[in-house]
Amino acid sequence: MGFVYTGLYIALALIVAGILSWLFRAALVTVMPRQTARALRTAPLTASFGMLTVLLYVLVALFAPLIAPFAEREVVGAQYLAWEAPYYLGTDALGRDMLTRLIYGARNTVGIAFATTALAFIVGSLLGLWAATVGGWVDQLLSRFVDALMAIPALIFSLLLLTIFGTSVLSLILVIAAVDATRVFRLARSVAQGIVVMDYIEAAKLRGEGMWRLITREILPNAMAPLVAEFGLRFCFVFLSISALSFLGLGIKPPTADWGSMVKENAALITFGDITPLLPAGAIAWLTVAVNFVVDWQLHRASGLKE
């Protein structure tokens, strides 16, 4: 019987999500400027669901102290209390309020993942565009170096670096950013290589344009669409990596509220049939699914426009 109820709940949740996404898209279309609105009108429901979710997460992260009923690290009761007011989602292994920690997790986990992605992205894409534009030995040197680093699996390389630099938040950000920058580099380089062979780049070179202008005015605007999509995908990847490391006890450490380590701390409950530890895991999954939906739509749109 449990399965039947679960199925019903899922169906109900999907319907509600669908309605909300539809409303959200309708609202966006009326609010946004005309050009954007036209693009939005063709967005599938999955994409508007994704955008709605991202907006929700950003709001929760920004206003966490206002929304959360308790303080982030405050012990408010006994351990593992049931889902009852005022602890709507119960308490964790140390008696801290689960809902509060989930809300603060949006700030910590997502914030750190975002900062890491941004860092990886700026470094990786600038180097990648530069390498493709200059070509020659600079490109060869950078590319072979990145190839060698990429031949080591990402998680393993991160673990190795974390062993050496220790598992503080700063080293976590730097290590993951460094590992991911290699992936961004490779994408940015290959996108730029497709653009560099175009006649308009040849024309700009023959005109005598400098490197900076070549990259910013001629190449970057044409590389924007795949790079933005890559940013979304990279964010998901970084977010999942950080969560995995935290889950393994090697990432963001308690008492900071973080979704990955919250799963780890409370995992024992699952074997007793309590789904509380699945909530932070679900929060991670929900956001990555949402971002992927938006990226998928953008990629689809970009490939459709090419034809």
- Residue 210 Cα to chain centre, angstroms: 35
In whole angstroms, give the CA distance from residue 114 to residue 103. 17
Find the shortest distance in angstroms from Cβ 6 to other proteins.
8
With H, G, I as helix, E, B as strand and everything else as coil, classify residue 97: strand
Among 67, 76, 250, 302, which residue sits at the site for other proteins (rule: CB under 8 A)?
250
Q: What angle do CA 187, 36, 234 make, to 5 degrees?
A: 25
Question: Residue 262: what residue type?
Answer: M
Q: Residue 237: helix, strand or coil by DSSP?
A: helix
133 part of the interface to other proteins, by CB under 8 A: no
Does 205 bind other proteins (CB under 8 A)? Our answer is yes
139 lies in the binding site for other proteins (CB under 8 A): no
Instruction: Using the minimum distance from each CB to other proteins, give the nearer residue, 121 or 239.
Output: 239
Q: Are 52 and 21 in contact (CB under 8 A)?
A: yes
Query: Both ends of the chain: CA-CA distance in Å?
Result: 50
Write out the two tokens for 181. 């920058």
Question: 76, 94, 126, 149: which one contacts other proteins (CB under 8 A)?
Answer: 149
* Number of residues lying near other proteins (CB under 8 A): 62
Taking CB under 8 A as the criterion, the residue among 56, 67, 75, 240 binding other proteins is 240
Q: Is 192 in the site for other proteins (CB under 8 A)?
A: no
Residues 29-88 that bind other proteins (CB under 8 A): 42, 46
Dihedral sign for Cα atoms in the order 46, 51, 53, 54? positive
Q: Which stretch binds other proteins (CB under 8 A): 90-98, 103-111, 135-143, 288-296?
A: 288-296
* Contact (Cβ atoms closer than 8 angstroms) between residue 261 and residue 182: no
Vertex 153: Cα angle to 151 and 158 (nearest 5): 120
Q: Is 206 in the site for other proteins (CB under 8 A)?
A: yes
Whether 192 and 129 have beta carbons less than 8 Å apart is answered as yes
Among 161, 169, 174, 302, binds other proteins (CB under 8 A): 161
Among 16, 156, 211, 228, binds other proteins (CB under 8 A): 156
- CA torsion 96-99-105-106 (nearest 10°) is -160
Binding residue (CB under 8 A) for other proteins from 92, 97, 218, 230: 218
Binding residues for other proteins, rule: CB under 8 A, are: 42, 46, 147-149, 151-153, 155-157, 159-167, 198-200, 202-209, 217-218, 221-222, 236, 240, 243-244, 247-250, 260, 263, 267, 270-271, 273, 275, 277-278, 281-282, 284-285, 288-289, 291-293, 296
